[in-house]
Amino acid sequence: MLSDRRQRVLIALIEEYISRALPVGSRTLTERYHLGVSPATVRNELSALEEAGYITQPHTSSGRVPTDAGYRAFVDDLIASGRLDSSADESLIQSMRESASALDDLMEQTSRALSRLTDCLSVVVSPSVVTVTIRQVSFISLSPYLVLIVIVTEDGQVFNRQIGFSDEITPEQLRSAEEVLGHFTTGRALADMLALFEQAAKTTPFDPLILRLVDEIAACLNAASPSRARKGGLSALLAKPEFTHAQTLLPIMSVLEDDVVLVHLLDEALLTPSELLVRIGSENADESLTGVSLVATQFGRGDATGIVAVIGPTRMDYRRAIRAVRAASAALQDD
């Protein structure tokens, strides 16, 4: 447990390092921050923080930089202190929510807003479409042999799939199929829909067109899972001084560019009992991510739960990142 004075010195050092990305010396802290103590006291406190593992000295003649433990103490203090008012950022993202016509559009806008607010990589992961409730399924004739399936879920996601037929399919056949299948699809998740249809098929000889369309509905939704990740601000991440060398950047990119791996990485945000997940450097399970930090939280309810996150260097502005992630989650939350 750090004393109040030592905590103030640590916070000042971290804020200075976040701002300038340069090792911080005692003179800088004394001149730029009102710590209320003498330069000699600041030097003593820095030595004590270094001995305790909160900061380190890259070179004997340089200033100090935070360690992962130092960032952890800083983040825990931020969260516990209640100094994270997100009203300004929330109002900005909330305005995007009001202008978005569907969840897909809203997630795209939110991802872009997050990257602008934090200057980091933003990630918004949609709820799994296999578990969300279907609102409507429509069949649209594109030609006598080509049909477009459009599926709208209760949370506003829209999916479509084109299917070809060897025999001519009339608009009247599609309208009839839409009416029949509406009894199975509307208000149900995919698994429930399939179970209900399978039960009905035991006693009802459905037309082959109906059977084909049921398979295509399932294929359309399954193709969209696992959950889709919308990413923004990758260029901002690449511009950070920490990632100017290929040997530090390539392992990170291999993880961040693979949506399946990325979604699996973020799944911890769904399991954590806390409302906010912060993983700093070496706290990440994947060794290739020891140079980055992750701030993530959930949005949605029940099975239809998504994730909103930002990923940046361990030197990220945690205050801004936490505020922005919380605000984005509030904007994406179902009414």
What CATH code is carried by the domain that includes residue 15? 1.10.10.10
Structure confidence at residue 272 (pLDDT): 65
Say if residue 190 is exposed, middle or buried (CB neighbours under 10 Å; 0-12, 13-18, 19+).
buried
Q: Is 28 helix (H, G, I), strand (E, B) or coil?
A: helix
Q: Verify that 218 and 290 share a domain, yes or no.
A: no
Q: Verify that 118 and 239 share a domain, yes or no.
A: yes
Say if residue 182 is exposed, middle or buried (CB neighbours under 10 Å; 0-12, 13-18, 19+).
middle
- CATH of residue 304's domain is 3.30.450.40
Query: What are the tokens at 257?
Result: 């560019």
Q: Verify that 65 and 160 share a domain, yes or no.
A: no
| Rounded-to-integer distance, Cα 240 and Cα 211, Å | 53
Say if residue 166 is exposed, middle or buried (CB neighbours under 10 Å; 0-12, 13-18, 19+).
exposed
Q: Verify that 158 and 198 share a domain, yes or no.
A: yes
| Rounded-to-integer distance, Cα 238 and Cα 262, Å | 17
Q: What DSSP line would sit under 197-250, residue for residue?
A: HHHHHTTS---HHHHHHHHHHHHHHHHT-SPPEEEE-HHHHHTSGGG-SHHHHH
Structure confidence at residue 43 (pLDDT): 94
Query: Cβ of 18: how many Cβ atoms within 10 Å?
Result: 19
| Rounded-to-integer distance, Cα 114 and Cα 308, Å | 9
Q: Verify that 104 and 253 share a domain, yes or no.
A: yes
| Rounded-to-integer distance, Cα 23 and Cα 268, Å | 33
Q: Verify that 232 and 258 share a domain, yes or no.
A: yes
Question: For residues 139, 140, 143 and 146, what is the CA-based torsion angle, rounded to 10 degrees?
Answer: -40
Structure confidence at residue 78 (pLDDT): 87
Structure confidence at residue 335 (pLDDT): 47
Read off the pTM: 0.72
Q: Which of 81, 113, 147 is the last residue of a domain?
A: 81
Q: Verify that 278 and 293 share a domain, yes or no.
A: yes
Domain count, the chain: 3
Q: In this structure, what are the phi and psi dihedrals at residue 300, rounded to the nearest 5 degrees?
A: 95, -175
β-pair partners for 143: 146
Give the domain range for residue 191: 134-223
Block mean pLDDT (10 aa), the chain, length 335: 91 95 93 91 95 91 92 92 65 64 75 88 79 89 94 86 93 94 91 88 90 91 70 84 76 75 71 78 86 89 79 93 88 69
| Rounded-to-integer distance, Cα 67 and Cα 14, Å | 10
Q: Verify that 248 and 99 share a domain, yes or no.
A: yes
Q: Verify that 58 and 148 share a domain, yes or no.
A: no
Structure confidence at residue 243 (pLDDT): 82
Q: Verify that 110 and 13 share a domain, yes or no.
A: no
| Rounded-to-integer distance, Cα 116 and Cα 136, Å | 35
Q: Verify that 113 and 167 share a domain, yes or no.
A: no
What is the Cα gyration radius of the chain? 26
Structure confidence at residue 302 (pLDDT): 66
Structure confidence at residue 146 (pLDDT): 95
Structure confidence at residue 333 (pLDDT): 77
Task: Give the closest residue to 113 by CA, choosing from 90, 131, 135, 134.
Answer: 90
- CATH of residue 168's domain is 3.30.390.60
Q: Verify that 110 and 246 share a domain, yes or no.
A: yes
Question: Which whole-number Å values give the CA distances from 227 to 104, 106, 129, in the listed order?
Answer: 12, 16, 7
